[in-house]
Chains A and B, each alone.
Chain A
C-alpha cells in the first residue's frame, strides 16, 4: 500500500511538473478562448416573455453536425430570450416519445427532424391539438406540411446530391464512389441517388460502418485497391472525409476526395488541397433560423418561406473560401 502511494505521488508530481514546464505557444485552450472572445456575445435583445422551445432530433450520441446546429439554436435562443431544450435519440419510437414529453411539458414551440417521419405522426398530431407551433429542420422537406409544421428549414438531399454530380462533371470525373456511413438512413440514400442522377460517369455505392472509423478506412482502401479506375470518392459526413484521404494515401490511389458537410478538418483539407470540394448545408443556420422563426411566429405570427421549405444549402465550398471559413469552423459555428 505504501509503495502504491509513493507511485501515485510520483505520478502526480510528474504530471504537474510537465504541465508547468511544457507550455504550448500554439493552439490549445488559450487559443480557443481568444477565438471565443471574438465570437458573438450573448444577451437577450428583445423584451418578449421567456418562452421555452424544445428541439428533438434523430441524432446519435456525440455528433459533430448536431453540435453545430445546437450552437446556432443556442445563439438565437440567447438573443430572443428563449429557454432552449435539446434532446435526441436515433431510434424513431424513442424520438417520438421525446416529442410526447415536450408536449406534456407544454412548451411554447417544438423543433423536430423528420428523418423517420411515420414515427412522428401521432406525436406531432398531439402537439397540434395542444396548439404548439412546430418547425421541422434538416429532414422532412417533402412532408412537413402534411404533419402540420409551419415551415421547414434545411437542404433538399436530392438537390444537394445533384449539385455534387454536376460539380463532379465540371471537374471531368469519370468514376465515383459514394460512401454511405449509416445503413438505413433515407437522407443518405437520396444524396447518393441525386449524385448518381446528375453525374455523367459511373457511380457506385459503398456501405461502411460509420461508428467504427478503422472499418471505414479499410473498406474504402479495399475498394480503391480493387478498382484503380475510381477517380473520386464522395463521403456523406465531414468526419469521414479525413478518413477517406488516409485510405486514398494508403491505397496510393489518385482519386479526389469530396464530402458533404463541413468541419474544421475539412476546411483545413480544402486549404491544403487534400480535398476537392465540400457541400455545406450550413447546420448553424438550421438551428439559428428554427429558433428565430419560432420566435417570430409567436411574437408576430410571421411565417417565412411562402409555403415552400427554407433552403440552407447546398453551398459548394472550395479551396478559395476555405481560409475564410476556417476561423468559423474552429469556433464550431460552421
Chain B
C-alpha cells in the first residue's frame, strides 16, 4: 500500500508526496463519526425490532435532517474558530418574522419568506460585525444575541398577535407553493420522505464543495487554524467570519420556514437549547472546538447519529428519560475516538 518515493538525489517537496488512499482516509475528520454511526445503526437494528422498517428510517432521516440543516453551517463556523449560541432561537425568530409579516401586512406568504430571509441574514451580520469590531469572544457576543432574540420572540409575538403563538396563515396566497418548497413530502416506493432531507443533502454538498474546492474554504480553515498567520498572508479575516455567521443565519432561515410551513402556526417560546445540540452534532462529526479542523459531511453524520438515537430509543421502547445520558456519553466517546484517529493519522504521515 505504501508509496515509493523516487530514490534520487533530488529532494521532492513534501507537499507533493502522494499519500496512499488508506492514509488519506485515516486523515479525514469524519472517519470517527462514520464508525460511530455504523455502530449506533447496528445497535438499534438488534435492539429495536421496528427500526429497520422503511417508514421508520424515513422518520429517523427526517429527525436527522431538521437538525442537520443547522449542524452543517454551524460546523463551518466552528471550523472558522467561532461559536453561535443564538442559532437555536434564530430558527424560531425566522419563522415568527415570516409568519407575522405575511399576516399583518396581508401579503403573499412569499413576501414574508423574503423579508424573513433578509432579517435573519441581518441578525447573522450583526453577530459577525459585533464579533470583528469588539474583538470579544464569540461565546459572549452570541450569548447576548441569544438572550435578546429569546426575549424579542416572546415580546413581539405577544405584542403583535396578542397571544404566545402566531395566527394561522394556511389560508393565505402563496402558502401552498411555499409549503411544497419547505415542508412537502415525496414518495419513493410507497414510503413518504420529507423534503428537508433534500435541503440537508444539498447543504452538505455545497458546504463540502466550498470547504475543499474553493478559496473561501481555504480562508475558513485559515482563520480557524491561526488567525494572525491568516491575516498576515492576506486572508480577509473579518469578511470570512461575517460570512460564516450569515451561513448559520441562512440555515436558520431554512429551518424556520420549514417549521412555519409544516405547522402554519409558530410557538414563540421554542428553540432554546437547540444551539447546543447543533454544536454536539458538529463535534461528534469531528469538528475541533478550537477551530481549524472538521468537515460538513462529519456534521451531517453527527446529525444522523443524533436522529438515530433519539428515535431509536422510542423504537426500542426504552424510557426516554435516559436519552440525554446517552447523548452525553456518545459525545465523549465520539470525541475520544476522533482524537485517537487523528493522532494515528498524524503519526503515520
Contacts and interface: CB of A to CB of B under 8 A. Distances in A.
Contact of B63 (A97, A118, A185): A97
Nearest to B53: A104
A118 B268 CA distance: 13
A121 interface: yes
B55 A104 contact: yes
Contacts, number: 82
Contacts of B164: 183-186, 189
A94 to B, nearest CB: 8
A118 B263 contact: yes
Q: Chain A, interface size: which category?
A: 20 to 34
A119 interface: yes
B317 interface: yes
Nearest to A185: B164
A98 B323 CA distance: 13
Contacts of B163: 186, 189
Contact of A118 (B265, B315, B319): B265
A101 B311 contact: yes
A97 B306 CA distance: 13
B66 interface: yes
Contacts of B269: 182-185
A104 B324 CA distance: 23
Q: Chain B, interface size: which category?
A: 20 to 34
Of B268, B269, B314, B320, most A-chain CB atoms within 10 Å? B314
B304 to A, nearest CB: 15
Nearest to B268: A184
B235 to A, nearest CB: 38
B165 A86 contact: no
Contact of A93 (B56, B168, B263): B263
Contacts of A321: none
Given A88-B320, A92-B270, A97-B311, A104 B263 contact: no
A223 interface: no
Contacts of B274: 91
Contacts of A97: 59, 62-63, 311
A118 B168 contact: yes
B154 A183 contact: yes
A85 interface: yes
A61 interface: yes
B165 A93 contact: no
Nearest to B157: A184
B165 A106 contact: no
Given A93-B262, A103-B55, 5 more contacts: A96-B263, A101-B59, A102-B314, A105-B50, A184-B267
Interface of B: 50, 53, 55-56, 59, 62-63, 66, 154, 163-165, 168, 259, 262-265, 267-271, 274, 310-311, 314-315, 317, 319-321, 324
11 contacts: A61-B324, A96-B263, A97-B311, A101-B56, A103-B55, A116-B265, A118-B263, A119-B263, A122-B262, A183-B164, A183-B269
10 shortest interchain CB distances as A-B pairs: A184-B269, A118-B265, A104-B56, A184-B164, A119-B263, A101-B314, A118-B263, A104-B55, A100-B59, A87-B320
